[in-house]
Structure formats: C-alpha cells, structure tokens
Amino acid sequence: MIGTRLGTQTFCRWLFITLLAVAGSGCASLNQPEQDVGRRYVPLETPASDVEGGVKVIDAPEGIPDVEPTVVSYTDYNDPLEGFNRAMFAFNDVAYRYALIPLASGYVKVVPLPVRNSVTNLFYNIKTPIYLVNNLLQLEGTLACRNLARFLINSTLGLAGLFDPAADWFGLERAEAHFDDTLMKYGAGYGVYLVLPFFGPSDLRDGTSAITDYLLNPITYLMDNPEKFGVKAFDYLQDYASDAERYEALREKSDDPYILFRNLYLQSIMRDEDYQGLSEQNEAADGP
C-alpha cells in the first residue's frame, strides 16, 4: 500500500479513531462486501470514454513490467467520504511526487539490492510480534510456532535478522499476519474506503490494523524520539522504495487518478476476500 509511518503517526491515529466514531453508526449499510459494487475487468487498451468514472487505461510504460494488466471499474460503488478522500489524495500526491518518490528512487539507485533485501529482512524480523499475536488470534498455532522458530533462528544465525536462514536452510517460510487478516477471518467487512494522510488508500478495517501494528511493533517501546521517528521513517522508505516508480506509472493511466487508485485498492480487497473464502472452503472440504 502507498503511505507512510512518519511523524504524522499520532495525527493519523487520532484522525482514524475520529472517523470510526463518525462512521460507526452507518457501518452496517457501508459494509461494502455485502454490496454489489459492479466489478468488471477493463482491458488496458480501453479508451477513457468507454469506462465509467473517467478511468483511462493504457499499456504499461517501458521498464515497469509488473504493472497490473487489468483494472477493475466499480461502477456502483458508494464513496460517502469522497470529498475528504480526494483532499487527502491530492495532499499525498504532492508529498509522494516531490518528496517520497525522489527519496525512494535515490535509495534504490545508491543501495545495492542485496543490502536492501537484508534491511527488509531486518525490519521483518523485528516486527515478528505483530505476526505472532495475529497467528494466535486466528487460532493458527502451527503458523505461530513457525514465526517463533523463524525469529529465534534469524535473530541468531541470521545476524539479528539481516539474513533469512530459517527459510533458506530450514524451509520455514514467512507467515505474515496483521490484524485486518484477523478481522477478515472472523467476518468483519472493510467498512468504507478511506484515504489517510501519508498512509494513502485504506479502509476502516485496515486502519484498525495500522493501530494494532503500531502497538505491537517493538520499535515503539525500544526507542525514544527522535531515534524512533528516524527508524520508522527509514522502515517505511525502504518498504516503499520498490513501489515508487509504479505509483507514477499508474498515475499516468488516468485522467482521474483518485478513481483509478480507489479501484485498484478495492480490487485488492475483493481478491483477498475471494482467496480467504476459497481457503475456508478448502479447509472445510478437507475436514478433521
């Protein structure tokens, strides 16, 4: 997701909690998984005039081969916070294009890929409590044990998590889990689409997950500001770096970038929920 955990964390959490209170009374009617949002796949060559909402979809720019080949147009989507969301999108767009993307692009150019991968491994290892707690909340004892074993192995043999011998030597692959996964498992819908300052495309369920991730992140308690601010800012920068060029490439696809990024976000939600439903069906079919 495009967004950041920079020094605006306190403001974003306050803003999110306020929106929860405002939207709480209407969540039942705004629970979009229960609504027919009119999904349909639109080929990249479709002209803007042929797609409702002004979505202009063109071939991916050269050098960005992993841009999605299709986009979903949600023709009947109810976006009750569109005014607020558009204002936040405009703010984020300026921040991304004139600050974050240049910094991320510079990071990618200066720091070799193996070093960037080690930094990613380090932060992933530090945030193990997030995944472990959510494994337990989802009653996934096997995955919780795997994450615990990964943490012990990578913190020692992997030099504090810079390397991933748990996966490379022992076949213990990552089992990442967040609170939005837990809420989804217990049937909670995403509520309403929401764009947060710096955090970017989100929703009520995902915003709640951002709060719990913050509380479960050891960095929150192991450091004081300004060190904590710097470490978390760098964590976001290295995590966002690989998506920097993709944001600009996708932005150029539409006369109305807000609609395009909203549709892409909703597409990811629907894909996750379809996958979750398929997994549950497979588990039920396997039986005890």
| Per-residue pLDDT tens over the stretch 182-199 | 998 998 888 889 998 877
Instruction: Write down the pLDDT at residue 207.
Output: 85
Q: Is residue 184 part of a domain?
A: yes
Instruction: Write down the pLDDT at residue 16.
Output: 39
Q: Is residue 148 part of a domain?
A: no
Which stretch, 47-61, 97-111, 229-243, 262-276, has highest mean pLDDT? 97-111
Question: How many domains, the chain?
Answer: 1
pLDDT band at 59 (very low <50, low <70, confident <90, very high): very low
Q: Report whether 241 contacts 116 (CB < 8 A).
A: yes
- Can you tell me the mean pLDDT for 142-162? 96
Distance of CA 233 to the CA centre of its chain: 16
Taken as a whole, the chain contains a residue count of: 288
Range of the structural domain that residue 49 is part of: 9-140+177-274
φ, ψ dihedrals at 42, nearest 5°: -120, 120
Is residue 87 over pLDDT 50? yes
- 3 state DSSP class of 43: strand
Counting residues of the chain whose pLDDT is more than 70, the rounded percentage is: 68
Which candidate, 198, 226, 223, 224, places its Cα nearest to that of 210?
198
φ, ψ dihedrals at 284, nearest 5°: -65, -35
pLDDT band at 38 (very low <50, low <70, confident <90, very high): very low
Residue with token string 């929703």: 203
Q: Report whether 73 contacts 37 (CB < 8 A).
A: no
At 173-186, the pLDDT tens digits run: 999 999 999 998 99
What is the pLDDT of the chain when averaged over all its residues? 75
Q: Which two tokens stand for residue 181?
A: 């996964």
Higher pLDDT pick, 4 / 215: 215
- Can you tell me the mean pLDDT for 233-254? 81
Is residue 130 over pLDDT 90? yes
Q: Is residue 172 part of a domain?
A: no
Q: Is residue 119 part of a domain?
A: yes
